[in-house]
Amino acid sequence: FSRRQSEIRIEADATVQPNGLLRLTDQKPNTIGTTFYRKAVRLLESHINASVRSFSTCIVFAINPTSSKEGGYGFTFTLSPTPYRRRAGSGQYMGLLNNITNGNPRNHVFAVEFDTVQGFKDGSHRMGNHVGVNFNSLQSDFEGPVLFYKRKQKEELLLQTGEPVKADILYDGNTKLLNITVYPAKMTPSPVRPMISRPVPKLSRIIEEEMYVGSTAATGKGERSSAHYIMGWSFSSGGEHPVATKLNLSDLPRPPTNTSEKSAYSSKEIGLIVAVSAVTLILIAMRYKELHSATDGFSEERIIGSGGFGTVFRGSLSSSLSDQIAVKKITEGSEQGIREFVAEIESLGRLSHKNLVKLRGWSKRNANMLLVYNYIPNGMLDSLLHSVPRLTGTVLSWTMRFDIAKGIASGLLYLHEEGEQIVIHRDIKASNVLVDEDMNPRLGDFGLARLYERGSHNGYPSSASDVYSYGVLLLEIVSGVSPTKFINFKLPDWIMAFYSNGEILNSVDHRLEACYDTEQARAALVVGLLCCKQTPQCRPSIAMVISYLNEEDGIPNIDETWGVSTSSTTVPTPLSLSGTQTG
């Protein structure tokens, strides 16, 4: 940046160092730094045509945390109506907004955040490592742990190690699709598959005709601070497929060596030991050697599932059916995997309900961490809905579907209202529901769950987010259509189109033919839509959902407050999926 310094505007603690490295913040507490390209960029086609033009940016950055703590808070790539962010706050506000402007629709600010501290506005401020997409707010519309794809396998990437990281952000104005790819800057070739790929139709409500392109960063209180460096940055917009100039790592100025004394992995292991110790009285610590033997040395032939942060193996402790187990082996070196390991033990280790997966025990040897569950023979609900079930060889019957839907709701009621603590699951979907030999559903995968003490209403998220996810799942169970089927709109919007036309039963899975209870199906679909109301406060509690499904209370009509999903680019019609209703 030394030769281009006249083209950028830097404010607050941002500075261009002699070697051309742009430092947004140093490691001092409660600082911010911003940089913007001095000239406004035209991002709308015209006043009449408010379509957002395609754009592409490439950023190479490095984050060095303090030597003794976790560091924080991260930085953003930002589209702003001004080339500065006056009165923006530090810490969780990341030099972008403050407690007054956050969430104001007049901000006209779009940001991709590279966040190293989680817990915005819930008071926890725990270690994070994620990328989020924000519109006028620091509350991300969607986010995900930082990962990249290498030879079709997910690999986690830590943001604040001091090593150069490259981010490619591409927006296609025709499809309104936003792709974000984050990966080690030294990696060649770059990943083909992005970590985030989502339509962002609301961007057109954010972007003004001319915007300023730049970055913001902030540190937090005490030692929650990191130095944020931008080594190189390119941007391009307009045309059919603008491509930002590729940045060669060897041509870029290097950031200072990371002198952090702590290893993120070892600090997480310390937290892991503490968390595990708190529940060892009610959860069995199992011998690693026994589990190694039960899975034939974690043989590939024993794999029954895999994800970004772990692989699940089928195991046998003995020849007895009751000793058939599923062993989840956390991916070594995965910080997110460690967090999910802790969350599973903290939540499932304390819970017991017929509609929740049973966590039998855990094991840890060096960097190898294992979670042990009862083996559930019928597998995941999504495979039963969208492929031939392994048990019956036929499509799931209506009775089975309705009972499964009510069983999941029963498990959620226990989490929200009946357990010792309030548990918000935060990841309810068909692939996280397992179905046992009696076709009883069991909600699992508590890696994102949060626990809160009853009677303490300060800061914990509303159960309405779980209710929304349950509503989508209920609609999927009845319609047989996967929520991932759509690009321009969401499943609830498609079902709502049938409802509005007075033909909601036409959205029932056609593979059931006429073999279903019409009143139950109508009730389930309407309840699913009620759960998906855009205003969280208007959604029913899970207790009310159960009451509706059991016909104990009358189901209210859906009124004009329902609202189309904010991420839908078009309002669907019942014909939008005509002929393809197979999931």
Please list the ranges in the chain whose pLDDT falls under 70. Answer: 2-3, 47-49, 67-70, 118-128, 259-284, 307-309, 332-336, 367, 388-394, 455-461, 487-488, 560-561, 563-583
User: What's residue 125's pLDDT?
Assistant: 42
Second-level CATH architecture of 265-374: 2-Layer Sandwich (3.30)
One-letter identity of residue 4: R
CA distance 364 to 230: 39
Annotated binding site for ATP: 329
427 catalytic? Reply is yes
Domain spans of the chain?
5-247, 265-374, 381-577
User: What's residue 1's pLDDT?
Assistant: 72
**Catalytic residue (one of 26, 172, 323, 427):** 427
User: What's residue 241's pLDDT?
Assistant: 87
User: What's residue 284's pLDDT?
Assistant: 66
CA distance 66 to 55: 34
User: What's residue 390's pLDDT?
Assistant: 45
What pTM was estimated for this model as a whole? 0.57
Q: Which CATH superfamily hosts domain 381-577?
A: Transferase(Phosphotransferase) domain 1 (1.10.510.10)
Query: Hey, what CATH topology would domain 5-247 get?
Result: Jelly Rolls (2.60.120)
378, 390 Cβ separation under 8 angstroms: yes
**pLDDT, tens digit (0-9, with 9 covering 90-100), for 441-498:** 999 888 778 878 776 544 445 789 999 999 999 999 999 999 887 766 789 999 999 9
Annotated binding site: 329
351, 419 Cβ separation under 8 angstroms: yes
User: What's residue 316's pLDDT?
Assistant: 93
Domains 5-247 and 265-374 are alike in CATH topology: no
CA distance 428 to 433: 8
24-38: burial string, b at 16+ Cβ within 10 Å, e else: bbbbeeebbbbbbbe
